[in-house]
Structure 1
Amino acid sequence: MASTADDLRNSLVDEILRDVRLTADVERVMRTVPREAFLPGIRLEEAYADQAVSIKENPVGGPLPLSCASVPSVVGIMLSQLQAQPGDNILEIGAGTGYNAALLAELTDEHGHVTTIDIDSDVALHARTMLDRAGYQRVHVMERDGLLGAPENAPYDRMLAAVGLWDVPAAWWEQLREGGRLVVPLRWRGQTRSVALTRHGDTLVSEGMELCGFVPIIGQDSEKTTPLNADGTIRVIHDEDQAVDAAALGDSLSNTTAVEVMSEQRIGGAESFDGVWLRATATDDRVCRLQVTPDATARELISRPAVPVRSPVLIDGDSLAYLIVRREGTDDQRPHRLGAAAYGPHAEKLAQDLIAHIEAWGGARTVVPHLTITPASTDVAAGPGHVITKLESRLTLTY
C-alpha cells in the first residue's frame, strides 16, 4: 500500500528528530503544512526527502540555482532558532516556494503577520500562487530586493533570511525592533553558519549558530573566487579583504612537494569536523575555502583535501595549508586522523599553524564562538575578540 502524504510528512519529521533538536511548535507545524503543495509536479517521495529542490535554475549558468526549497532539516533548525511566537510580525527574505512562509504563518497564528519578499518576479509569483492554493492568503508576498527589506511593514519582531548573506545590510537594522531576533545564514572566511542574533541597541548578539548552506543573495559580491591553475580545477573562495596571489600559489602547487603533518585529533566516520574551520576564523585572517574538482584529485594535481568541494585553507603569500583526513591505526570508534597538507616555501610553518587550530578545536569540539555584529557606520566599540570588517558591518568573534 502506497504511503500517503501525511505518512511521508511524519516520517520525514521523525527522521529529522533523530539528528536535530526542534522546538515543539516547529515540530508541530512541520507535521501540519503540506510541503508537496508548494512543489507541484514533484513526486511525493521527493517532496518528503530531506533535500533541497530547485524551483528556478540560475539564468547565467552558475553552479547554484537561483531559488530552491531549502533542506527540511535546515528549515526546522532555523525556525527553532527564530523562536517565533503567536502574534509576531515577521519578515522573511527569500520567498522560495512559499513553504517557509506557510510554516511561519502557522507559528504566528491568525493574530500575527508574515511578509515574505523576493527579488525575482517569477519566484515571488510562484510563492504567492502556492500560498493562495494552500490557504495562506494572509501572508504578504512582495517582489523586492531583499537587501532593502520591507520597511512599510516594520518594525519586525523576527526576521529570517532564507538566502545566504555575506554582510548584514544597513537597511535591516531599523526594521528589527529592539529585542527582536534575526536568523541569518551568514558567510565569513568561506563557511556559512545560521546565526541567531538578538538586537540590543546598535549591537546584534548571537545566541547560537548552526552549520548550513544557502543560495547567496543577489547584490552582495564581496566574496571572490580565484583559480589557482589554468583549467580552474583548483580554486580558492575568499573575502575581498584577503589577498590571494594566484600565480605564486599555482607555482607552489606545481613545483613543490606536499608537506603533510598529522594532528592528535581523531574522528569517527560520521563525525563532523567543520568546527575546525569555525575555530580558525575566530583568530586567523588567512582562512579561506579550497575547492578542488574530482578531475584535479584524479589527476593527482593536489593531495586530496578533507572535503574536496569545501575545505578550510590557510593562505600566506606563495604558500598554503589545508585540512586533510587520513585513516590510521586500529581505533574502530574514531579511525580517521585530521591533519594538514601544505605547499610552498612556508609549507611547514603553515601546516603547523593549521594543526594548532585543529588541536584547539579538539579540546572543545561542540563549543561555538560568541558573535557580535555592529554597523560599520557607527562608532560602537567592537569589544574584545577577533574583528572581521565588512562593508556594512563589523563581526567580532570570541571563544
Structure 2
Amino acid sequence: MSQTPTADELRNGLVDEILSRRSLPAEVERVMRRVPRDAFLPGLELEKAYTDQAVTIKENPDGPLALSCASVPSIVAMMLAQLDAQPGDNVLEVGAGTGYNAALLAELVGAGRVTTVDIDSDVALHARTTLNTAGYSRVKVIERDGLLSAWENAPYDRIIATVGVWDIPVTWWNQLADGGRLVLPLRWRGQTRSVALTRRGNSLVSDGVELCGFVPIIGQSGERTEPLNTDSTIRVHYDEDQDVDVDALTDTLADASLHEVLSDCRVGGEEPFDGVWLRATASDDRVCRLEVTPEALEKGLVRRPAIPVRSPALVEGDSLAYMTVHREGADLERPFQLGAAGYGTNGKALAHDLIAHIEAWSADRAAVPRLTVTPTADAAGGLSGHMIGKPESRLTLTY
C-alpha cells in the first residue's frame, strides 16, 4: 500500500522538477524548499499546491482572466533568480497575491525589509492572513494601487512586480535606488517578458529577458483588443501607438487571398520559437498578436496559426500575416518548419517580411536583445536601437 506523500516530500519533489529544467541560485533553491506553498493556499488539495501550475484565488466577473492568482512556481523561482535579492535588502513587491512570494522574499533578505502592495482588498487581506499564519508577520502588506508604489519604505534596493506591466510608472523610478534592480513582466507588442533591469542613473538596463505570462495590472490601458470577424472568434491585440486600422482588417481573413510561404527554419518538438516574436519587435512596429479561438479553428475560418491563442503577426492597412508551423520532410530531430500565412492586399509581402524575421532569429537562436528603458520625460539622446514609446517610459531594443 503506497504511503501518501507529506508536504515536505511534495515540496522537494516540485523543486527537483524545476531544477531538472533550469538551474537556480543556491539561495533561491533553499527558500523554495523551505517556504510551504500550501500554507498560502488554504483549502486546496496538498498535491495541487505542489504542481507547477498557477492557482486562481479570485475570479474576475468582468473578463476571462483572473483578478489574482498564485503564480506558476517555476516562474516564481525564475523571477527570484532574476531579482537577486540579498540579505539586508529593502524590497517592494507589486501584487501581493497569496503572500507566498513575499514570504520567499522575506527568507531571502533576512533582516531586510519586504513590503507588498495590492489594489484589491480581498487579496490584500488574504496575503496578510496567510503571512501571519505562516510566521511572516514582519512583511508589510498595504492595500493600494500598485502603480503608486509604497513611498513609506522607499528607496528600494529591489522592486518586483507579479502582475503584467505595460508601462513603467514614474513612481517606481522615483523609489528605486540607483544600482537597484527591477524585475517585472513587461508587455509590448502583444507579448509578455520577465525583464531584469538594473538602474544606472536615468536608465534601466536589462541583463535578462524570459518569456512569461501574468494577469495585467489594473490601471494601465495602453493595450487594445479588437475582433476581426463578426463572431469575435478571431482577435488582434496591439498597442496604442501602433497604426492598426481594425475596420480595414474586418473580414480580411475570410477572403480568398491567402498566400503561404515556408522558411528554411526547422524546430524540434520541444524547441521554443517564441524568440521570433521578440526578435521582430526589435525592428518592426507592425508586430501584433493574433488570437484564434477553438471555435474559429473548428470552422476552418483560417489556416492554423503556430500557437492559436498567441501567434505573432504583422499588420499593415487591410493586410496581415501570421506565423504557422508545418510538419514537413523526414528530419526526425527537427520535424517542424516555420512559415507564414498572409491575407489581404499586401498579405504576400507581409508573409515574406515575417519569414525574414523568422530567419533572422534562426541565424542566432540564443541571442537576447538588450533592453534599455528611459523616462519619456527625459530628452532622447545617444541610444542606438529600435525605440518603442509609451506615456511614462521609452523602450529601446538592441541586438
TM-score range, shorter chain: over 0.9
How far apart, in 1, do the equivalents of 2:245 and 2:180 lie? Answer: 42
Aligned match of 1:177: 177
How far apart, in 2, do the equivalents of 1:103 and 1:153 lie? Answer: 19
CA drift at 1:382: 5.7
SS in 2 for 1:22: coil
1:121 aligns to 2:121 (yes or no):
yes
SS in 2 for 1:174: helix
**Residues 267-278 of structure 1 aligned to structure 2 (within 5 Å):** 267-278=267-278
How far apart, in 2, do the equivalents of 1:296 and 1:382 lie? Answer: 46
Judged with a 3 Å threshold, the aligned counterparts in structure 2 of structure 1 residues 119 and 21 are, in CA distance, closer, same or farther, namely same
Structure 2 residue runs without a partner (length 5+): none
CA drift at 1:247: 2.9
Aligned match of 1:102: 103
Aligned match of 1:150: 150
SS in 2 for 1:204: strand
SS in 1 for 2:307: coil
How far apart, in 1, do the equivalents of 2:382 and 2:314 lie? Answer: 25
Aligned match of 1:283: 283
How far apart, in 2, do the equivalents of 1:2 and 1:284 lie? Answer: 53
Aligned match of 1:256: 256
SS in 2 for 1:63: coil
How far apart, in 2, do the equivalents of 1:329 and 1:383 lie? Answer: 44
Partner AA of 1:305 in structure 2: P
SS in 1 for 2:248: helix
How far apart, in 2, do the equivalents of 1:299 and 1:293 lie? Answer: 10
How far apart, in 1, do the equivalents of 2:351 and 2:103 lie? Answer: 48
Aligned match of 1:298: 298
How far apart, in 2, do the equivalents of 1:251 and 1:92 lie? Answer: 43
- Percent of residue pairs identical: 68
1:211 aligns to 2:206 (yes or no):
no
How far apart, in 2, do the equivalents of 1:138 and 1:381 lie? Answer: 43
CA drift at 1:367: 1.0
How far apart, in 2, do the equivalents of 1:198 and 1:252 lie? Answer: 43
1:21 aligns to 2:20 (yes or no):
no
CA drift at 1:155: 0.3
How far apart, in 1, do the equivalents of 2:343 and 2:155 lie? Answer: 51
Aligned residues of 1:374 and 1:382 also touching (Cα < 8 A): no
CA drift at 1:380: 4.5
Aligned match of 1:81: 82
SS in 2 for 1:101: helix
How far apart, in 1, do the equivalents of 2:354 and 2:126 lie? Answer: 46
How far apart, in 1, do the equivalents of 2:6 and 2:213 lie? Answer: 30
Partner AA of 2:396 in structure 1: T
Aligned match of 2:136: 136
Moved over 6 A (4+): none
Q: Deviations over 1:85-125 (max 9, x none)?
A: 0000000000000000000000001x100000000000000
Aligned match of 1:9: 11
Q: Deviations over 1:344-364 (max 9, x none)?
A: 111111011000000000011
CA drift at 1:245: 2.1
Partner AA of 1:58 in structure 2: N
SS in 1 for 2:125: helix
- Give the paired residue count: 397
How far apart, in 1, do the equivalents of 2:296 and 2:272 lie? Answer: 24
Q: TM-score, normalised by structure 1?
A: 0.98
Selected match of 2:55 from 30, 53, 56:
53
How far apart, in 2, do the equivalents of 1:31 and 1:351 lie? Answer: 47
Aligned residues of 1:21 and 1:77 also touching (Cα < 8 A): no
CA drift at 1:144: 0.8
Partner AA of 2:210 in structure 1: E
How far apart, in 2, do the equivalents of 1:382 and 1:84 lie? Answer: 31
Which has the larger displacement, 378-387 or 169-178?
378-387
SS in 2 for 1:196: strand
Partner AA of 2:201 in structure 1: G
SS in 2 for 1:315: strand
RMSD: 0.8
Judged with a 3 Å threshold, the aligned counterparts in structure 2 of structure 1 residues 154 and 41 are, in CA distance, closer, same or farther, namely same
Structure 1 residue runs without a partner (length 5+): none
Aligned residues of 1:91 and 1:158 also touching (Cα < 8 A): yes
CA drift at 1:366: 1.5
1:385 aligns to 2:380 (yes or no):
no
CA drift at 1:66: 0.2
How far apart, in 2, do the equivalents of 1:358 and 1:97 lie? Answer: 39
SS in 1 for 2:250: helix
Aligned residues of 1:290 and 1:310 also touching (Cα < 8 A): yes
**Residues 25-40 of structure 1 aligned to structure 2 (within 5 Å):** 25-40=27-42
Judged with a 3 Å threshold, the aligned counterparts in structure 2 of structure 1 residues 115 and 382 are, in CA distance, closer, same or farther, namely farther
Partner AA of 1:98 in structure 2: G
How far apart, in 2, do the equivalents of 1:382 and 1:144 lie? Answer: 37
Q: TM-score, normalised by structure 2?
A: 0.98
Aligned residues of 1:202 and 1:380 also touching (Cα < 8 A): no
Aligned match of 1:93: 94
Judged with a 3 Å threshold, the aligned counterparts in structure 2 of structure 1 residues 183 and 199 are, in CA distance, closer, same or farther, namely same
CA drift at 1:12: 0.4
Judged with a 3 Å threshold, the aligned counterparts in structure 2 of structure 1 residues 380 and 179 are, in CA distance, closer, same or farther, namely farther
Aligned residues of 1:155 and 1:177 also touching (Cα < 8 A): yes
Q: Deviations over 1:116-150 (max 9, x none)?
A: 00000000000000000000010000001100100
